[in-house]
Structure 1
Amino acid sequence: MTELTSAITSYWDAAADAFDDEPDHGLRADHTHAAWERLLRAWAPSRPADILDLGCGTGSLSALLAVAGHRVTGVDLAPRMIEQARAKFAGAGLAGRFLVGDAVVPPVGDDRFDMLLCRHLIWTLPDPHAALRGWVARLRANGRLVLIEGRWGEAGQSGQPYVPGAESLPWGFGVTAADLADAVRPLVADVRVEPLSGDPDLWGRPVGDERYALIARV
């Protein structure tokens, strides 16, 4: 584990206990829960599918997918996040598999998936282009890649990395939809982008930075 990876792991481990206090993380408000449920229903296959949730955090989106009948595997670098996700599933009586590991090379062996979901993760990666290539390779034919990302206005304005060394990350303050689409397009059959900034229900408040979902099919 590199020094930067260790710092990132420690950061998210420390954030795990309070992670769900953010409206779009815990989905505790009914309108926020319903907004994410609606989006995931539109993006996921209509019938039960194998879904890989990378950077799953405390498993809130994984839980929505499991409730919809999908078979979910969640991966996160931070052990405390995985503990929270497992507890969330156990408390709700949901079935799911949660693994501690690097989302760039998820510890799932040769498993392939019908959908790969990743929310607010790619900006933390040292080599996002390599990650994208690896993720696409884990999808079955006609599989879906769903990336929920953004360009973080507050971080970009301050110019301060969130952990020491993060200033070296290619997309350390987020990535625009145009740049991410350019990176994904050569790897897939088609790409579309859905803007998400204009729906405050998703975030628990109005946001002024760029937030979106990129949906691709292989």
Structure 2
Amino acid sequence: MTGEAETAIRDFWDEAAEAFDDEPDHGLRAGPTRAAWRQRLGEWLPAGPADVLDVGCGTGSLSLLLAEAGHRVTGVDLSARMVERARAKFDGAGRRGRFLVGDAASPPTGDERFDVVLARHLVWTLPDPVAALRDWSGRLRDGGTLVLVEGRWAAAGSEASYADAAADLPWDGGVAAGDLVAAVRPLARELRVEDLGGDPDLWGRPVTDERYVLVATV
């Protein structure tokens, strides 16, 4: 990513940070939505305390659910304003977590290894998503879990200003499950895909576009 593109993307998400949690599945303010994500995360992640890297963590809503479940969380986001809100969310809840400002496609965590790498609604925003998938897989311990919550959005194209800032995105508007499976399969021992579009509690409303999770063992 060029410096100009990275600056444009960072500025986009910095501006979005203030209202980011207004979306039901971002802020998780409603009890049923929060409970739905808590249940799903418990199904996707290994039992017991795990070291989790939440890439593109945003305001830290999923990170907080993970911390509440006893996991050790490191969140990374390019937007300093998103990270500020994530830290404040943890402080307000009396939870411990580490949040870093940096490129989610290549997190600034050095040689650390994790049990889980989690990304939600991130890969479509990346100029080179396949390289990011390789990077994340390389940060997992043997037998680690890659959890990718993604979709192909009905509103594809509505974020034209973001796409313009980032130049051409391979998966602009989201990524279909088949395409993501093809990219992850060479990196994984096993993987599965679960449809998430039929659970309105996850999104705070019924949805008609493609939404799913890909869970892979690396």
Work out whether the TM-score is over 0.5.
Answer: yes
CA distance in 2, matches of 1:153, 1:160: 14
- Point out the more displaced range, 158-167 or 142-151: 158-167
- SS in structure 2 opposite 1:164? helix
8 Å CA contact retained: 2:163, 2:172: no
Q: Deviations over 1:41-69 (max 9, x none)?
A: 11111010100000000000000000000
Aligned residues: CA RMSD: 1.3
Determine if the alignment matches structure 1 residue 36 to structure 2 residue 37. yes
Offset of residue 166 of structure 1: 3.8
Give the counterpart letter for 1:154 in structure 2. Answer: A
- Mind listing any 5+ residue stretches in structure 1 that lack a counterpart? none
Give the counterpart letter for 2:46 in structure 1. Answer: P
Offset of residue 163 of structure 1: 4.2
CA distance in 2, matches of 1:9, 1:159: 15
Compared CA separation, residues 159 and 86, structure 1 to 2 (3 A)? closer
8 Å CA contact retained: 2:127, 2:170: yes
Give the counterpart letter for 1:150 in structure 2. Answer: G
- SS in structure 2 opposite 1:62? helix
CA distance in 1, matches of 2:94, 2:155: 38
8 Å CA contact retained: 1:166, 1:172: no
TM-score (norm 2): 0.96
Offset of residue 167 of structure 1: 5.3
- SS in structure 2 opposite 1:212? strand
The residue aligned with 1:147 is 148
- SS in structure 1 opposite 2:100? strand
- SS in structure 2 opposite 1:21? coil
Q: Percent of pairs identical after alignment?
A: 66
8 Å CA contact retained: 1:4, 1:164: no
8 Å CA contact retained: 2:118, 2:148: yes
The residue aligned with 1:190 is 190
Offset of residue 159 of structure 1: 8.5
Runs of 4+ in 1 over 4 A off after TM superposition: none
CA distance in 2, matches of 1:111, 1:64: 22
Compared CA separation, residues 159 and 63, structure 1 to 2 (3 A)? closer
CA distance in 1, matches of 2:170, 2:161: 12
CA distance in 2, matches of 1:12, 1:209: 23
- SS in structure 2 opposite 1:216? strand
CA distance in 2, matches of 1:144, 1:80: 28
